């Protein structure tokens, strides 16, 4: 592991990168909290991106630093600044838990440190609710697929071009034009052209 001193990570995020939103209030709140706790070695991780984005540069950098053992704790203004959804938040919480990195949300009184049973309880509840949400999503997807199959929807890849090769070439030999071949076989003219071109090479 790196010999660098471990730090307190302050994570900030605003949804817009056009200057209409700033992280000053989040930073002020988190900085005052850290100062009151005596956590002087802090590093700022700031994203200017929608919470719906799966990847955020600063968050990715923070998680990497956590995995390298460089982060002692993570401080955010609110949980919504960190996770883009309950499911995403539960994934992050699992990562925090496995790496034994406490998460503190200053405005919500949340602290998942081992010494804080209440914070541990809240984290457990959040993860249970997120797991319930995931299971519901899987069930809805399975029900949707079953319903679609009952309506005759076929899943999987469409037949590849070589499966229509003989039909196309036979009609071509009979003197049919490419457009007419496509119409009779109900396949795009671009596919007909591709089959004929491949056969000629």
- The residues annotated as belonging to the active site are 15
Distance, CA of 187 to CA of 123 (rounded, Å): 54
161, 158, 170, 156: which is closest to 189 by C-alpha? 161
3-state secondary structure of 32: helix
103: β partners: 74
3-state helix, strand, coil in the chain (%, to 5): 55, 15, 30
């Amino acid at each position: 592991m790196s010999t660098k001193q471990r730090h307190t990570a302050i994570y900030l995020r605003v949804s817009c990168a056009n200057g209409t939103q700033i992280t000053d209030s989040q930073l002020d709140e988190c900085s005052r909290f850290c100062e009151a706790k005596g956590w002087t070695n802090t590093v700022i991780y700031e994203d200017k991106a929608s919470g719906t984005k799966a990847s955020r540069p600063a968050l990715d950098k923070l998680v990497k630093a956590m995995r390298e053992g460089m982060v002692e704790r993570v401080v955010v203004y609110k949980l919504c600044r960190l996770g883009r959804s309950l499911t995403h938040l539960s994934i992050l919480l699992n990562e925090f838990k496995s790496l034994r990195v406490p998460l503190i949300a200053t405005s919500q009184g949340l602290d998942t440190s081992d010494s804080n049973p209440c914070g541990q309880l809240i984290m457990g509840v959040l993860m249970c609710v997120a797991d319930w949400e995931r299971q519901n999503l899987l069930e809805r997807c399975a029900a949707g697929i079953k319903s679609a199959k009952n309506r005759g929807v076929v899943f999987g890849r469409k037949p590849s071009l070589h499966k229509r090769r003989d039909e196309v070439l036979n009609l071509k030999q009979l003197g049919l034009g490419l457009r007419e071949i496509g119409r009779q076989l109900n396949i795009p003219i671009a596919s007909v052209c591709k089959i004929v071109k491949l056969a000629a090479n």
